[in-house]
Structure 1
Amino acid sequence: MRAIWNGAIGFGLVNIPVKLYSASESSTLDLDMLDKRDLGNIRYKRVNENTDKEVPWENIVKGYKIEDSYIVLDDDDFEAVSPEKSKILSIKQFVNEDEVDVALFETPYFLEPQKHGDTAYKLLLEALLKTKMAGVGSFILREREILCMIRPYQKEILMVNRMRYPEEMRSYADLKIPKGKAPKAEELHMAEALIKSLAEAFDPSKYKDTYNEDLLKIIKQKAKGKNIKSKKTKEPEEKTIDLMAMLKASLESGKRKAG
């Protein structure tokens, strides 16, 4: 793996030199966009809107528009913004993970200790495991300040979870949230029973993205000249349903599978 950031974790007065690596990857098939007339590959070009000519990467700069003119920024300008955060992932506080809404979590990264950082790295890892706490802090990555959580992963490595800032979460105030009468006691009891019947310890290995496998099967069948017929699925009914009947049927189905 290739490191995407080099720096240090600021832990009190201790600095732990680390490297940051992406901990996830896309599992989608690499599909190309083609012109259906001749299957020519579609390419995207960086075009100057004034000249309609393609612009090479070395001539592209970043700028911010104020009134009718652009202020161009270079590498020195970006480095001048919070330079300490460009190289230090500073832990501001320690929290129980359960206190943080999972909706705020984004991308995961692995942390690897750099030379002379092994001892302090292991110390932080063991201390977090012992206290069952996680660190919350921020640093600069790719010209953006990242809010993040540092926590143990699989009890043997430190992981950084990139987090959304609260202002990045949309409001749901304009959505139609049910505010009608409470569910019937019998329905609620049945729903609780169904939830409990399906409850078990979480095992992520049980879950697999099968969409790409199925899509690849279709691709291979088409390559052999076979016609593909899609299976029609029933649209969810919008009419009022008998909740009790559906809950009872769900419970019975679960019992049959368990037996």
Structure 2
Amino acid sequence: MRAIWKGALTFGLVNVPVKVYAATEDHDVSLHQVHAADGGRIRYQRICELDGEVVPYADIDRAYDDGERTVVLTKEDFAALPAERSREIEVVEFVPSDQLDPLLFESSYFLEPDGTSPKAYALLRETLQRTDRTAIVRFSLRQKTRLAALRVRGDVLTLQTMRWADEIRDAAFPALDEPVKISDKELELSAALVEGFAADFDPAAFTDEYQAELRTLIDAKLAKGDTLDTAETFGEREEETGGEVIDLMEALRASVERSRKARAAEG
């Protein structure tokens, strides 16, 4: 892995030198666009609207337009911002972990101790574990001020960047304002259904079926040396149709019964 950021975690008067690494990676098959008629590669160019010239990425700046005037911001302008120059991840507060709405979370990063002694790193890690709290931190990365949750995963400190509160939309659905009567029997059957599917979560047990099928299709085309009908690779599939409206109690009973039979067969 290659570090994307170097700086220090500041925890009161404690300074913890760290390197930041992306904790996740994209496993999607890489595809590009082609001309359907002849398979020719489609490429995009950055064209200046004033002179019609192709502009190299290195010569591109950014700008803000208020509708009447345009302000051009150079790379030097961004680099001069105080927040951008800061190389600190500042611990702002420690909060109960259950107060953090999952909708706030964005990207995840690993923090590696950077220095001759990992003692300060270990101190902060042990403090988080013993207090059972999450540290809210603030730092700058890629021309943005970030808010993040600092947690412990195994022996490693992790950062999960967070959206700002005003970036979370309100969920206002009129249908949820209508009173709904749920009987004790329906709740009982629903709870039984949940129990029938109860398990300990193992993320390794789940795979990206679409990407696996896509790779199978690509491998088949490569092996055949020509195009082929998708059905030759995956077999015929029934066309999906809209589900009919069914009785909730019957659906719950059927689901519970099917779950019980499946459990009995496994046992």
TM-score, length basis structure 1: 0.91
Q: Deviations over 1:2-45 (max 9, x none)?
A: 11111111111111111111011111100111111111111111
Q: Deviations over 1:191-220 (max 9, x none)?
A: 111112222222222222122111111222
Q: Decide whether aligned partners of structure 1 residues 161 and 175 sit closer, same or farther in structure 2, where only a CA change above 3 A counts.
A: farther
2:16–2:121 Cα contact (<8 Å) kept:
yes
Distance in 1 separating the partners of 2:38 and 2:257: 55
TM-aligned CA deviation for residue 136 of structure 1 = 0.4
Within 5 Å, give how 1:205-244 maps onto structure 2: 205-223=204-222, 224=224, 225=226, 226-229=228-231, 230-237=236-243, 239-244=244-249
TM-aligned CA deviation for residue 67 of structure 1 = 5.0
Q: Decide whether aligned partners of structure 1 residues 88 and 61 sit closer, same or farther in structure 2, where only a CA change above 3 A counts.
A: same
Q: Which amino acid aligns with 1:211?
A: Y
Within 5 Å, give how 1:146-161 maps onto structure 2: 146-153=146-153, 155-161=154-160
1:91–1:137 Cα contact (<8 Å) kept:
yes
Distance in 1 separating the partners of 2:45 and 2:155: 44
TM-aligned CA deviation for residue 60 of structure 1 = 0.9
Q: Which 4+ residue blocks in structure 1 deviate beyond 3 angstroms?
A: 82-85, 174-178
1:62–1:74 Cα contact (<8 Å) kept:
yes
Structure 2 unmatched runs, 5+:
none
Identity %: 35
SS at match of 1:177: helix
TM-score, length basis structure 2: 0.89
1:88–1:139 Cα contact (<8 Å) kept:
yes
Distance in 2 separating the partners of 1:174 and 1:245: 27
Counterpart of 1:126 in structure 2 is 126
- The answer to whether residue 113 in structure 2 is matched with residue 113 in structure 1 is yes
2:18–2:113 Cα contact (<8 Å) kept:
yes
Q: Decide whether aligned partners of structure 1 residues 257 and 171 sit closer, same or farther in structure 2, where only a CA change above 3 A counts.
A: same
Counterpart of 2:163 in structure 1 is 164
Distance in 2 separating the partners of 1:206 and 1:19: 31
Q: Deviations over 1:142-188 (max 9, x none)?
A: 001111001001x2101000111111112222564362422222112
SS at match of 2:191: helix
TM-aligned CA deviation for residue 221 of structure 1 = 2.4
Distance in 2 separating the partners of 1:42 and 1:177: 47
SS at match of 1:37: coil
2:78–2:84 Cα contact (<8 Å) kept:
no
TM-aligned CA deviation for residue 111 of structure 1 = 0.5
TM-aligned CA deviation for residue 233 of structure 1 = 3.7
Counterpart of 2:257 in structure 1 is 252
SS at match of 1:63: strand
SS at match of 1:15: strand
1:147–1:164 Cα contact (<8 Å) kept:
yes
Q: Deviations over 1:65-107 (max 9, x none)?
A: 2453322223443234333873111110111221101111111
Distance in 2 separating the partners of 1:44 and 1:92: 43
Q: How many residues align?
A: 257
Q: Which amino acid aligns with 2:241?
A: E
Counterpart of 2:51 in structure 1 is 51
1:18–1:117 Cα contact (<8 Å) kept:
no
- The answer to whether residue 198 in structure 2 is matched with residue 199 in structure 1 is yes
Structure 1 unmatched runs, 5+:
none
Distance in 2 separating the partners of 1:14 and 1:233: 61
TM-aligned CA deviation for residue 133 of structure 1 = 1.5
